[in-house]
């Protein structure tokens, strides 16, 4: 614990990236297993234990320090962990400081009732820096300016590896990472034996802007549909004589295999072999790709029942092939990977894993027409599940993260609806004195004629000048006030109409209207528009189907 | 004692806009503006100002004041030796080591068997560059409280310097630029570095050089100390450089190879303070008493009455009250900024009153 504390202490004062890397690398080199592994886990946010609350820490000290002296000290220092670490009375005889591994392993097994006693023993055994580090660790607020990526970069340097090699195998590894260190030290077996089905982080695209298009040669790009599902990678592999491993990962590396046993079964087939596919998870009924809202319904279910699997049949549309057998294909140009992907999918011959087609186009104008009407351009009835187009350079390697100039996403125009402002709430931060959270609604038939029903909230999409105009309107048209919330006039004859842009709709039981908007924002303020001419709920529900 | 004692203390010492004043002796202590007769505890700029008529202080304090303020810093000088009692007006005064910097003293004032001790700035930790603090039993103790909060418990200075060496080992190509007051702290660090067995040159800023020379003349071993100007930046890679805070904070540091900024003060114990000053390696090395030392010293003097001159006065006054000691905060404005050294700051006569 003491050397980990020293590391945190140094890191908290080191502003330079190189300096931080050096500190971490040195720590990881010098510390023995399993200590360094838990230190690495702490820096990468991989530790799982219940965090101690600040109030618990405060209570511990209350019995030991005069309250006025505590308050004066806390005001001066401004950080609870630090104040407590400094004020903790030095014991007459200091115990043996706990190892970091002891702390982590004990915390995972300690009951809430036993926690204060355990913490007291440790605080008595550590010096002030050690106490500070311990409190930072257990309250889960390290704030030492080290990202998970930075820690992994230092780790990679330890074994003179590329950080992306670490990213590749990271998911599926557990603290204290003993095998990982052995591989980096050169004393252990190779990495594919550590994790035969690693998460390979996806390559992401930049939005295509008008100014981009002017400089791009359409002949250097291919296009494909951007499906409105969830991005997944399907991975299978085997190390030595161990049983083969198959996993499904979300784009952040979360293992989502248990939620999709139907698709997992396809990845586990012998024909899949050892491979990594990047693709989109979709619900496909009778050959028709369903919009995101339908997939969302399956995702919302906690238990995966045979009924659910039958009702929401899943399919993966494959975009890319990152690895096949022992070959890492990511350095190859896109078109070469595509060729191998096509062959792979053909050989696999599994209706659950299909090829996402390329969309041929002659020039940007033609592509713009395709984007405006995917149905006419070959997507047919699947068009509702298409978010837009992806443009990929023919020669693009598969690069982790969001590299510039290789891939672009060109989304369809968002949905639009005219809605009436109903409630306004004070914002926070730099908008703390302004009404900047707006609840808006659309018309539906009620018992006493038409009524407005809230369908969403928007926080942005307006300029500062517009915000101040809206605020003026709100202050002049408040019907009633509930704390920070004002009800703004919204009748058929009076009120303010917003044109709301959004990315899609989901069914929702939590909302009175039964729907929830994805990413709503104010695209225009319709000062001139009569509220009675705002949209109706039926318009929205029609978009759902 | 009780109410009578308080009255007696007030007879011996009062608080004026200029600082502490002793009416029966007709002198000030560490006056903040020019006065006819001034007793000076130590030579830091916030306590030792120029322009007084007569100044009584230790020989070292007088020498250093002359070096920094000019030989005409006052009308007449009188040397006070540690432990020697002398009449000043209707009182007897004596100077006693305060352990703060070379020549620093507490000042005891006695009349009719009643003794008040003004601590000046002091520390209890061992310092190879000055005489150790001497506890003087008294009826009223006037203490500083720069670090008067229980969060301040300073580690052993030798251990802190060891952290400097650990950093040098880890970053052997970076110039370690230590920010330290040019009077006292810089020399103490040099001495601590030598005590730890480090025998390479220690490089210093011009502002610390004269003082360091004086310390060496006083017989204190600072080893091989050299001026930064005599080396190229490449030669200073991996070396220890010591300079005053204002210089380290400023463009002076930019000349060094990949400088690693080291702070050395009691404030370094609070992370936010260290970060605000751009310090990358904070060393908690202070020339002031930490909280345990303040408390222990107050108790050791046996004083039934305590005045707290400056610093974090509220907590110490509260604590003393709990010990049954009559305590009052003075909150003297103007002390506590040792950086207000004359070589870096404005002349005394332009410092605004109050």
Q: What is the per-residue pLDDT across A323-332, written as a single tens digit (0 to 9) for each?
A: 999 899 999 9
A100, A4 contact by CB (below 8 A): yes
Mean pLDDT of chain B: 90
Could you give the CA distance from residue B13 to residue B11 in angstroms, rounded to a whole number?
6
Are B171 and A86 in contact (CB < 8 Å)?
A: no
What are the structure tokens assigned to B51, written together? 């322009």
What are the structure tokens assigned to B218, written together? 């006083």
B91, B111 contact by CB (below 8 A): yes
A118, A98 contact by CB (below 8 A): no
Phi and psi based region of residue A10 (left: phi greater than 0; alpha: psi -120 to 50; beta: remaining):
alpha
CB-CB neighbors (< 8 A) of B170 in chain A: 22-23, 26
Q: Is the pLDDT of residue A85 over 90?
A: yes
**pLDDT score recorded for residue A480:** 86
Could you give the CA distance from residue A92 to residue A481 in angstroms, rounded to a whole number?
59
* A216-251 pLDDT tens trace: 899 999 999 999 899 999 999 987 788 889 999 988
Give CA torsion, residues A71, A76, A82, A87, to 10 deg. -50
**pLDDT score recorded for residue B340:** 42
CB-CB neighbors (< 8 A) of A87 in chain B: 150-151
Burial class (CB in 10 A: 0-12, 13-18, 19+), A460: exposed
* A510-539 pLDDT tens trace: 888 888 888 888 888 888 788 988 999 988
B298, B143 contact by CB (below 8 A): yes
Are A13 and B271 in contact (CB < 8 Å)?
A: yes
**pLDDT score recorded for residue B6:** 59
Three-class secondary structure of residue A526 per DSSP: strand
Q: Which residues of A make CB contacts under 8 Å with B?
A: 10, 12-15, 19, 22-23, 26, 65-66, 68-69, 72-73, 76-79, 82-83, 86-87, 90, 127-128
> CB-CB: which of A72, A78, A86 is closest to B272?
A78
* A96-114 pLDDT tens trace: 999 999 999 998 888 888 8
Could you give the CA distance from residue A197 to residue A322 in angstroms, rounded to a whole number?
12
Going from the C-alpha of A424 to that of each of A415, A480, A490, B271, the distances in angstroms are 23, 11, 12, 41
Tell me the shortest Cα–Cα distance from B149 to chain A, in angstroms: 6
Could you give the CA distance from residue A348 to residue A272 in angstroms, rounded to a whole number?
6
Q: Is the pLDDT of residue B329 over 80?
A: yes
Phi and psi based region of residue A225 (left: phi greater than 0; alpha: psi -120 to 50; beta: remaining):
beta
Q: What is the pTM of this model?
A: 0.67
Are A72 and B314 in contact (CB < 8 Å)?
A: yes
How remote is the C-alpha of A237 from its chain's centroid? Answer: 26
What are the structure tokens assigned to A425, written together? 């709430």
Please count the residue pairs, one from chain A and one from chain B, whose beta carbons lie less than 8 angstroms apart: 64
More confidently predicted of B310 and B259: B259
Mean pLDDT, residues A460-464: 80
Mean pLDDT, residues B137-160: 95
Burial class (CB in 10 A: 0-12, 13-18, 19+), A39: buried
Are A87 and B151 in contact (CB < 8 Å)?
A: yes
DSSP A249: E
List the single range of A79-83, A474-478, A501-505, B201-205 with lowest mean pLDDT: A501-505
Give the CA diameter of chain A: 82
> CB-CB: which of B150, B281, B314 is closest to A87?
B150
What is the predicted ipTM?
0.87
List the single range of A69-73, A297-301, A532-536, B217-221 with lowest mean pLDDT: A297-301
**pLDDT score recorded for residue B333:** 64
Residue with tokens 């007051």: B181
Could you give the CA distance from residue A37 to residue A105 in angstroms, rounded to a whole number?
12
What are the structure tokens assigned to A200, written together? 């390979």
**pLDDT score recorded for residue B104:** 98
Confidence grade of residue B350 (pLDDT, cut at 50, 70, 90): very low
Q: Is the pLDDT of residue B354 over 50?
A: no
Tell me the shortest Cα–Cα distance from A77 to chain B, in angstroms: 6
**pLDDT score recorded for residue B295:** 97
Burial class (CB in 10 A: 0-12, 13-18, 19+), B223: middle
**pLDDT score recorded for residue B341:** 40
DSSP β-ladder status, B260-264 and B281-283: parallel
A249, A276 contact by CB (below 8 A): no
Mean pLDDT, residues A172-199: 84
B205, B182 contact by CB (below 8 A): yes
> CB-CB: which of B271, B279, B322 is closest to A82?
B271
Could you give the CA distance from residue B175 to residue B322 in angstroms, rounded to a whole number?
48
Closest among A541, A538, A455 to A490, alpha carbons compared: A455
Q: Is the bond leading into A53 cis (omega within 30 degrees of zero)?
A: no
Closest among A227, A287, A295, A291 to A260, alpha carbons compared: A295
Could you give the CA distance from residue B186 to residue A164 in angstroms, rounded to a whole number?
47
Could you give the CA distance from residue A520 to residue A531 in angstroms, rounded to a whole number?
19
Phi and psi based region of residue A86 (left: phi greater than 0; alpha: psi -120 to 50; beta: remaining):
alpha
Are B170 and A68 in contact (CB < 8 Å)?
A: no
B281 touching A (Cβ < 8 Å): yes
List the single range of A207-211, B117-121, B180-184, B238-242 with lowest mean pLDDT: A207-211
């Amino acid at each position: 614990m003491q050397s980990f504390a020293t590391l945190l202490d140094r890191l908290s004062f080191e502003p330079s990236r190189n300096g931080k890397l050096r500190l971490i690398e040195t720590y990881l080199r010098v510390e023995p297993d399993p200590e360094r592994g838990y230190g690495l886990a702490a820096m990468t946010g991989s530790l799982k234990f219940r965090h101690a609350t600040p109030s618990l820490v405060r209570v511990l000290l209350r019995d030991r320090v005069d309250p006025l002296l505590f308050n004066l000290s806390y005001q001066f220092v401004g950080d609870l962990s630090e104040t407590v670490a400094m004020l903790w009375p030095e014991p007459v005889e200091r115990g043996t400081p706990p190892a970091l591994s002891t702390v982590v392993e004990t915390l995972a097994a300690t009951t809430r009732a036993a926690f204060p006693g355990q913490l007291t023993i440790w605080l008595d055994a550590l010096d002030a820096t050690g106490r500070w580090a311990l409190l930072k660790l257990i309250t889960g607020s390290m704030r030492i300016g080290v990202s998970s990526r930075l820690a992994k970069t230092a780790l990679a340097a330890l074994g003179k590896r590329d950080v992306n090699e670490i990213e590749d195998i990271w998911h599926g590894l557990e603290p204290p990472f003993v095998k990982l260190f052995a591989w980096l030290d050169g004393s252990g077996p190779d990495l594919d034996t550590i994790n035969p089905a690693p998460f390979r982080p996806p390559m992401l695209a930049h939005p295509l802007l008008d100014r981009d298009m002017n400089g791009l040669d359409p002949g250097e790009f291919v296009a494909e549909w951007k499906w409105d599902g969830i991005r997944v990678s399907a991975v299978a592999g085997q190390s030595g004589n161990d049983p083969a491993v198959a996993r499904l990962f979300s784009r952040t590396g979360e293992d989502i295999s248990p939620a999709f046993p139907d698709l997992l079964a396809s990845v586990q087939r012998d024909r899949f072999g050892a491979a990594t596919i990047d693709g989109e998870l979709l619900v496909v009924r009778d050959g028709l790709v369903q919009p995101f809202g339908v997939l969302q319904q399956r995702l919302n279910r906690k238990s995966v029942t045979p009924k659910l699997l039958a009702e929401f049949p899943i399919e993966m549309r494959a975009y890319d092939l990152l690895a096949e057998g022992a070959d890492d294909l990511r350095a190859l140009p896109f078109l070469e990977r595509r060729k191998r992907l096509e062959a792979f999918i053909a050989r696999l011959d599994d209706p659950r894993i299909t090829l996402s087609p390329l969309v041929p186009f002659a020039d940007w104008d033609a592509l713009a027409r395709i984007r405006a009407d995917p149905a006419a351009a070959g997507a047919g009835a699947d068009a509702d599940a298409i978010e837009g187009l992806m443009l990929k350079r023919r020669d693009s390697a598969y690069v982790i993260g969001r590299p510039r100039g290789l891939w672009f996403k060109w989304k369809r125009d968002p949905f639009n609806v005219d809605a009436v402002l109903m409630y306004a709430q004070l914002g926070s931060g730099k908008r703390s004195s302004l009404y900047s959270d707006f609840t808006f609604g659309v018309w539906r038939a009620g018992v006493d004629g038409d009524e407005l029903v809230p369908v969403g909230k928007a926080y942005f999409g307006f300029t500062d000048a517009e915000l101040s105009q809206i605020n003026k309107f709100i202050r002049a048209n408040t019907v009633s006030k509930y704390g920070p919330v004002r009800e703004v006039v919204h009748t058929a004859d009076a009120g303010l109409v917003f044109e709301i842009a959004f990315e899609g709709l989901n069914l929702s039981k939590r909302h009175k209207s039964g729907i929830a908007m994805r990413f709503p924002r104010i695209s225009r303020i319709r000062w001139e528009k009569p509220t009675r001419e705002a949209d109706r709920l039926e318009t929205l529900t029609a978009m759902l189907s | 004692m009780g109410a009578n004692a308080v009255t007696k203390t007030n007879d011996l010492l009062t608080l004026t806009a200029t600082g502490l004043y002793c009416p029966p002796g007709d002198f000030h202590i560490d006056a903040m503006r020019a006065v006819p007769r001034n007793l000076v505890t130590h030579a830091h700029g916030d306590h030792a100002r120029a322009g007084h008529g007569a100044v009584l202080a230790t020989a070292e304090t007088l020498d250093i004041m002359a070096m920094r303020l000019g030989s005409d810093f006052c009308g007449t000088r009188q040397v006070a030796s540690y432990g020697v009692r002398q009449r000043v007006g209707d009182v007897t005064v004596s100077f006693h080591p305060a352990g703060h910097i070379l020549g620093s003293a507490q000042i005891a004032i006695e009349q009719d068997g009643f003794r008040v001790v003004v601590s000046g700035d002091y520390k209890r930790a061992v310092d190879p560059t000055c005489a150790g603090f001497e506890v003087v039993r008294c009826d009223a103790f006037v203490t500083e409280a720069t670090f008067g909060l229980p969060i301040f418990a300073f580690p052993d200075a030798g251990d802190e310097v060891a952290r400097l060496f650990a950093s040098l080992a880890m970053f052997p190509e970076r110039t370690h630029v230590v920010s330290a007051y040019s009077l006292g702290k810089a020399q103490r660090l040099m001495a601590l570095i030598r005590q730890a067995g480090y025998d390479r040159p220690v490089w210093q800023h011009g502002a610390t050089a004269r003082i360091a020379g004086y310390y060496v003349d006083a017989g204190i071993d600072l080893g091989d100390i050299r001026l930064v100007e005599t080396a190229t930046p490449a030669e200073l890679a991996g070396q220890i450089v010591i300079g005053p805070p204002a210089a380290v904070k400023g463009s002076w540091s930019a000349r060094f190879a990949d400088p690693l900024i080291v702070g050395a003060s009691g404030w370094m114990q609070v992370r936010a303070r260290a970060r605000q000053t751009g310090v990358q390696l904070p060393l908690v090395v202070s020339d002031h008493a930490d909280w345990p030392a303040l408390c222990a010293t107050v108790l050791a003097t046996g004083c039934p009455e305590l005045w707290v001159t400056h610093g974090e006065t509220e907590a110490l006054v509260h604590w003393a009250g709990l010990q049954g000691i009559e305590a009052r905060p003075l909150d003297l404005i103007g002390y506590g900024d040792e950086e207000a050294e004359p070589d870096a700051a404005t002349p005394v006569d332009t410092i605004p009153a109050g």
